[in-house]
Amino acid sequence: MPSNTIAEQLWCVVGARESYTRAAREGGWRGFTSSLDAVSAGDPALVARTLTRSFAQVVDAINDGVASVDQRWFIDLLEHETQHHGQLIRYLYGLDIPRPASWRERYALD
């Protein structure tokens, strides 16, 4: 099966952050939802704000001690996001789009 589009990848990253954090806070899986929809995923500024906000939700949950109660949701989230990160790197290579400097340094790309 082909990979999702870049917008769909980002939609899923946001949704995973929101859904896994909700599961950790509520003590169980409540389903997958994403506050980023297909239309808004085409707006780079909105995507950036939504990624920042969803990351802050994860950090807040960890700072609130939620991760010390049940780490599995955060480990699952880490695995999920890592897979998307790798897919996005492959997209950038495939489309000959320069990789961000921070990614080039961190992963020894290029």
Neighbours of 57 (CB within 10 A): 17
Structure-block tokens of residue 34: 């994403």
Q: Does residue 1 carry a pLDDT above 60? A: no
Report the alpha-carbon distance of residue 31 to residue 81 in Å, rounded: 17
On whether residue 74 sits in a domain, the answer given is yes
Q: What is the pLDDT of residue 68?
A: 78
Report the alpha-carbon distance of residue 22 to residue 69 in Å, rounded: 14
**Cα-Cα end-to-end distance for the chain:** 27
On whether residue 35 sits in a domain, the answer given is yes
8-31: pLDDT as tens digits: 889 999 999 999 999 999 999 999
Q: What is the pLDDT of residue 49?
A: 93
34-73: pLDDT as tens digits: 999 866 777 889 999 999 999 999 999 999 988 777 889 9
76-105: pLDDT as tens digits: 999 999 999 999 999 889 889 999 899 889
Domain around 10: 6-107
What is the count of structural domains for the chain? Answer: 1
On whether residue 28 sits in a domain, the answer given is yes
On whether residue 1 sits in a domain, the answer given is no
Nearest residue to 29 (alpha-carbon basis) of 69, 72, 84: 72
Q: Does residue 5 carry a pLDDT above 60? A: yes
